[in-house]
């Protein structure tokens, strides 16, 4: 077995911010893309995953939001500039609900909306004091947006026949480009690899591994605002994160065109940086990852807002994350798992 590659990528405005809508910014985060199949999970999870969060996801413009109290739902800040979100209805549990105010959780990408009506059901929130650390725990993630697109190959040396001195190469699959944006709700699974804070509060980081677990998933354009759920020790599914960002885009050559993709091994590709950064192609796989804003890290602030009366809670305030909707991007860290 080999070791772990740890690549620290600097933050750059050239990279794709996880998951904003195509209508709001160029190539930013989509419906959850799966490793094993191009067919997405577009109906509620069943069996052991029944009740894992699908029922608490509502449609908010081209994105998702999660109901978390009788009067509130939560989503990503960077989806809407200023008060634009207040004009958008929230479709949830067969009803139509109208936001009346919002509150941006300071230092994060989380936005809490208060509605004029009342929800009948809502998601419980992940609490580290009760549920423990998120790191290492399986998750179910929800999003909307793109299909899995064309395959991405990297040319690698091929093993020549015995005794041969000829040089040959072969194309090796590394992932898939983001495909058609169709705004379909879907879900996938993964495991929290780490908890990372890069200036927008703690984020749950999960890698797109090959091989991965069942329904191994990553984010793409349109997934922003979707919920990440983790099952507690009591069996209850709790909202642990809100989709924020994903490692992207890539280049095949240093001066070639940039493209957005779901990549399970970035070895041999360039990351669109200033300048583009080459990821060496070695025996160790270098999976890319997705980032979802942590609920537990902001739990006290969220709970304080939920407890406030209508006259005082969810007061609109300026947000530094508004610029994300015009095409900001983040790229941080890669970890490569040794290929056995």
Look at residue 174 in the predicted model and tell me its pLDDT. Answer: 94
Query: Which residues, at least 6 apart from 132, have a Cβ–Cβ distance to it below 8 Å?
Result: 233
Distance, CA of 210 to chain centre: 18
Burial class (CB in 10 A: 0-12, 13-18, 19+), 59: middle
> For the ranges 95-104, 246-255, 285-294, 320-329, which has the lowest average pLDDT?
320-329
Instruction: Give rounded-to-5 percent helix, strand, coil for the chain.
Output: 10, 40, 50
| 262, pLDDT greater than 80 | yes
CA dist 269 and 75 (Å) reads 32
Domain 5-44+52-156+170-335: assigned CATH number: 2.40.10.120
- Pair of tokens at residue 197: 């804070």
Q: What percent of the chain has pLDDT over 90?
A: 67
* pLDDT, tens only, 293-339: 999 999 999 999 999 987 655 443 433 333 333 233 333 333 322 22
Mean pLDDT value across residues 125-145: 96
**Please, what is the average pLDDT of the chain?**
83
| Alpha-carbon span 74 to 305, nearest angstrom | 12
Which of 66, 76, 70, 73 lies closest to 28, judged by CA? 76
Non-local CB neighbours of 339 within 8 Å, separated by 6+ positions: 2, 283, 284, 285
pLDDT at 136 over 60: yes
Rounded distance, CA 310 to CA 306, Å?
A: 10
Q: Which range has the worst mean pLDDT, 188-192, 251-255, 297-301, 302-306?
A: 251-255
The SS3 of residue 49 is helix
Rounded to two decimals, what is the model's pTM?
A: 0.84
Where is mean pLDDT largest: 125-139, 168-182, 211-225, 244-258?
125-139
More confident residue, 230 or 315: 230
What is the structure's pLDDT at 166?
Answer: 67
Largest CA distance in the chain: 81
Tell me how crowded residue 146 is: count the other CB atoms within 10 A of its CB.
29
CA distances from 222 to 188, 206, 218 (A): 15, 17, 12
Whether the CB-CB separation of 29 and 243 falls below 8 Å is answered with yes
H or E segment and range at residue 12:
none
Residue 339, token pair as written in the block: 């290929």
CB 274 within 8 A of CB 331: no
Instruction: Look at residue 241 and tell me whether its pLDDT is greater than 60.
Output: yes
Q: Mean per-residue pLDDT for 255-270?
A: 95
Q: How confident is the model at residue 213 (pLDDT cuts 50, 70, 90)?
A: confident
Lowest mean pLDDT among 181-195, 218-232, 318-332: 318-332
The pLDDT value recorded for residue 271 is: 85
Name the residue with higher pLDDT: 124 or 337: 124
Split at pLDDT 50, 70, 90, the class of 181 is confident
Spatial separation of the C-alpha atoms in residues 289 and 280, rounded to whole Å = 17
pLDDT tens digits along 194-212: 999 988 999 999 999 988 8
Enter the tokens of residue 254.
């240093």
- What is the DSSP secondary structure assignment for residue 338, as one 8-state letter? B
DSSP, collapsed to helix, strand or coil, labels residue 84 as helix
How much is the pLDDT for 35?
92
- Give the percent of the chain with pLDDT over 70: 79
Distances (CA, A) of 243 to 122, 171, 296: 18, 32, 14
Does residue 97 register a pLDDT over 50? yes
């Amino acid at each position: 077995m080999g070791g772990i590659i740890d690549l620290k990528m600097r933050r750059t405005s050239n990279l794709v911010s996880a998951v904003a809508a195509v209508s709001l910014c160029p190539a930013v985060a989509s419906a959850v893309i799966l490793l094993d199949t191009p067919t997405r999970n577009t109906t509620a999870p069943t069996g052991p995953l029944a009740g894992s969060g699908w029922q608490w996801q509502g449609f908010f413009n081209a994105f998702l939001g999660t109901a978390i109290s009788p009067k509130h739902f939560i989503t990503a800040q960077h989806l809407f500039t200023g008060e634009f979100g207040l004009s958008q209805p929230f479709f949830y549990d067969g009803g139509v609900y109208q936001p009346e105010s919002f509150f941006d959780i300071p230092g994060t990408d989380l936005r809490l909306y208060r509605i004029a009506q009342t929800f009948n059901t809502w998601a419980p929130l992940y609490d580290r004091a009760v549920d423990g650390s998120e790191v290492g725990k399986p998750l179910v993630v929800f999003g909307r947006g793109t299909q899995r697109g064309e395959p991405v190959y990297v040319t690698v040396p091929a093993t020549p026949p015995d005794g041969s001195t000829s040089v040959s190469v072969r194309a090796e699959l590394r992932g898939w480009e983001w495909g058609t944006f169709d705004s379909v709700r879907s879900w996938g699974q993964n495991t929290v690899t780490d908890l990372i804070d890069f200036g927008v509060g703690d984020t749950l980081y999960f890698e797109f591994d090959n091989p991965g677990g069942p329904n191994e998933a990553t984010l793409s354009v349109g997934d922003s605002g979707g919920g990440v759920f983790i099952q507690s020790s009591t069996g209850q599914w709790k909202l642990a994160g809100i989709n924020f960002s994903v490692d992207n885009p890539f280049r095949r050559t240093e001066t070639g065109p940039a493209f957005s993709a779901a990549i399970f091994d970035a070895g041999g590709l360039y990351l669109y940086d200033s300048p583009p950064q080459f990821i060496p192609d070695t025996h160790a796989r270098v999976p890319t990852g997705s980032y979802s804003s942590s609920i537990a890290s902001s739990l006290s602030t969220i709970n304080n807002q939920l407890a406030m009366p209508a006259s005082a809670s969810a007061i609109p305030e300026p947000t530094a994350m508004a610029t994300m909707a015009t095409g900001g991007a983040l790229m941080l860290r890669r970890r490569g798992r040794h290929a056995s």
